[in-house]
Structure 1
């Protein structure tokens, strides 16, 4: 039934074609448009927990290879995408590994993290006009299914995705995935996903205004809807004001509520951010609010196998106040003051700095109401601009998170440090 629905959606996409460039007609060929890239990543995360909780940290070196072919010429083009991943554990500490929020190397039955891990995947793709159908192992990046690439290795999913750009400014997506590869473990379905269906799109109404609507259905877990509106007010040639609204509505499945001892099944969460940019400076004010009766607050990410969580991607949280804490507890309200600086204007191109202070309150847990948390976030990032190491980036970020005793059931206080060195290499 779902495959039929996706096929009908694809036909609808093609029938809406307006006069514009035909990507498939401009194809140069399977080999001519192909690329092979390798990303070398050295990543370290340390969490100095408070209130008697044991500190956690993991450190690893990864190589992430991705191949993307072009499409064969003709009315329907055929191509292949593939990836190969390898990670070496540089810390190998049984005591310090195993934090759910770090998750570089999953612990085995012995309680020890893996010394290394490797895996790969491939997908076949077909293109007709400006519509592409991909089947196989993929890394989808949608507001309701966004793979996590913010740790040592990325997650991946196995299934079918249709993406259409037949109308200028409009992107439509529809897909079904039936397996998830955990970022910290080998195996195509190490995440234990049953299935997830996704549908939606985004449209650039004007040069200043863009909006998006998406929905997902994670089998036996939840249904989710997402809305976004983004408007940029040009003020001067180097000044602008951007308003960005993001919202999710989540409805948990009755069986998931029963089996996991969850209280309530409904959550609505939204954020509105205003960013004023002037020259190399940006100033952000944001508000985020979570409502509903689910004690999970806004539920996303994690793995169904071993964790009993959602399985819709570790970056499926397009909200303003998501740093170390996501400020997504039941009934939570949070405010952010942020600042960004591009040092290129001061003679250091490639260097940037970001700061944010976020405070949340009104947190509800099973034992209390009115809990609070606050986070101070700092990040420096430098990207090499030229020479043999061009595009190599070094990112250092830290968070100071303090959670009130009333909120200890929801979150934990601590100091976090992340150091990532990424070196992308274009083979061809």
Structure 2
């Protein structure tokens, strides 16, 4: 009896899958017909005053002031898929950067030491650099597989795009959307092309330990479920070869109120444990955050609490930005050993005031109880901190042109002030930082 039911169920599932494959194949418009081409320009100004001069430059000198200005371009061609039960396609991209201002003593290296300008082998700022890459892709039904230089996007592995140019990682990635409300992802990558470097063979590693030559791959898997009204659930895991296994879980819930407005609440959790050769030493870290917010019209208020449980900081993949904790800020990640963080945030969509396209964000974060006395391995520098604290204030303004020849041009002003307290100044510096980012996507509709 049970065997017959299982057999019938498998037959039904197979029929549904076959139907989905055939349906997807029939809906394919073609390699060129479904293709998209985009070109985006990004002008980036970076100014950082480290105040007490504790930020060490790539030359080993104490550097208190940095100022950089550069122009970047990112062009992408994403083809459609060839017709048939199995479709094939191609993605291509080109990135270029041109330094407009920034000399020795005023720039980082754009990779591990902040900033936006790349450096040559002699440590001098480059006047310009570029790189190109691509990926082959295949589609069967609602499943897509790609191999090449990719832009993975997940809570445990997310390509970094917070500087002039984005990061790419080389490897394969799979995405499946066969089930309503569920998106599944998996991937494995063997190298990184850093956001301020032209090469594609950069070693993997972590943001707080640097690149690790003996780390051969990073893999991830997981999914996002939105099949329940007003609920989003994420479950992901990853492995960074001979460094860690990391799991992530989150839930986000929106509750529309009859009296008006929406309550938003949720929580995020990361579990990190060393694995294999444990190149960074023993790592047992649990990081979590929870939040509650209220939105009405164009106004939104939010309070959040984050806690880092562990003698090492919460860390993430080198040059990426896979932090889905509510404490991640502009100047600091607020991720130090045993740190406890309270934060408050206000967002305004000025369309309710008659200014569509204008938005404003104000944030304040305070972290206390930083204690790294038992940190070891790659994080042993935290041993100097027994009772540290820090706070940060962020002010962000963005305007997007709504119509006319400059439609979709955006201008962002990002201001951050961060200060250390207790003995946290032994490993971190006070900071005032300004970022001005002008982005303009070119309309290439004439290519269709």
- Fold shared by both chains (TM-score > 0.5): yes
- 1:339-378 to structure 2, matched below 5 A, reads 339-365=346-372, 366-378=383-395
Partner residue of 2:428?
411
- 1:226-375 to structure 2, matched below 5 A, reads 226-236=248-258, 239-253=261-275, 255-257=277-279, 264-294=282-312, 297-302=313-318, 313-323=319-329, 324-365=331-372, 366-375=383-392
SS at match of 1:160: strand
Deviates more, 1:107-116 or 1:264-273: 107-116
Q: Distance in 2 between matches of 1:215 and 1:29?
A: 34
Partner residue of 2:246?
224
- Displacement of 1:411 in angstroms is 2.3
Gaps of 5+ in 1: 1-12, 303-312
Are the structure 2 counterparts of residues 57 and 18 from structure 1 closer, same or farther at C-alpha, using a change threshold of 3 Å?
A: farther
Q: What CA deviation, in whole Å up to 9, does each residue of 1:97-124 have, x standing for no partner?
A: 1263524233233221211110011111
Partner residue of 2:165?
153
Partner residue of 2:223?
201
Asked if 1:71 corresponds to 2:87, the answer is: no
Are the structure 2 counterparts of residues 233 and 18 from structure 1 closer, same or farther at C-alpha, using a change threshold of 3 Å?
A: farther
Q: Distance in 2 between matches of 1:14 and 1:55?
A: 63
Aligned-CA RMSD value:
2.0
Q: Distance in 1 between matches of 2:302 and 2:116?
A: 32
Q: Do the aligned residues in 2 keep the contact of 1:18 with 1:167 (CA within 8 Å)?
A: no
Q: Do the aligned residues in 2 keep the contact of 1:14 with 1:131 (CA within 8 Å)?
A: no
Number of residue pairs aligned between Structure 1 and Structure 2:
400
Are the structure 2 counterparts of residues 271 and 46 from structure 1 closer, same or farther at C-alpha, using a change threshold of 3 Å?
A: same
Q: What CA deviation, in whole Å up to 9, does each residue of 1:370-414 have, x standing for no partner?
A: 211000110000001111111110000101100114112442211
Q: Distance in 2 between matches of 1:48 and 1:62?
A: 23
Q: Do the aligned residues in 2 keep the contact of 1:14 with 1:166 (CA within 8 Å)?
A: no
Q: Distance in 1 between matches of 2:35 and 2:258?
A: 41
Q: Do the aligned residues in 2 keep the contact of 1:180 with 1:191 (CA within 8 Å)?
A: yes
Q: Distance in 2 between matches of 1:196 and 1:76?
A: 28
Superposition TM-score, scaled by structure 1 size: 0.89
Are the structure 2 counterparts of residues 23 and 234 from structure 1 closer, same or farther at C-alpha, using a change threshold of 3 Å?
A: farther
SS at match of 1:314: coil
Partner residue of 1:35?
36
- Displacement of 1:175 in angstroms is 1.1
Q: Distance in 2 between matches of 1:252 and 1:91?
A: 42
Q: Distance in 2 between matches of 1:386 and 1:20?
A: 40
Asked if 1:45 corresponds to 2:49, the answer is: no
Gaps of 5+ in 2: 1-12, 55-63, 205-214, 373-382
Q: Distance in 2 between matches of 1:200 and 1:49?
A: 39
Q: What CA deviation, in whole Å up to 9, does each residue of 1:13-53 have, x standing for no partner?
A: 98984987944431111111111100000011111012233
Q: Distance in 2 between matches of 1:16 and 1:213?
A: 25
Are the structure 2 counterparts of residues 342 and 236 from structure 1 closer, same or farther at C-alpha, using a change threshold of 3 Å?
A: farther
Task: Indicate the structure (1 or 2) with the bigger Cα radius of gyration.
Answer: 2
Q: Distance in 2 between matches of 1:15 and 1:183?
A: 45
Partner residue of 1:384?
401
Superposition TM-score, scaled by structure 2 size: 0.85
Are the structure 2 counterparts of residues 194 and 57 from structure 1 closer, same or farther at C-alpha, using a change threshold of 3 Å?
A: farther
Q: Do the aligned residues in 2 keep the contact of 1:379 with 1:395 (CA within 8 Å)?
A: yes
Are the structure 2 counterparts of residues 394 and 249 from structure 1 closer, same or farther at C-alpha, using a change threshold of 3 Å?
A: same
Q: Distance in 2 between matches of 1:315 and 1:132?
A: 24
Q: Do the aligned residues in 2 keep the contact of 1:24 with 1:130 (CA within 8 Å)?
A: no
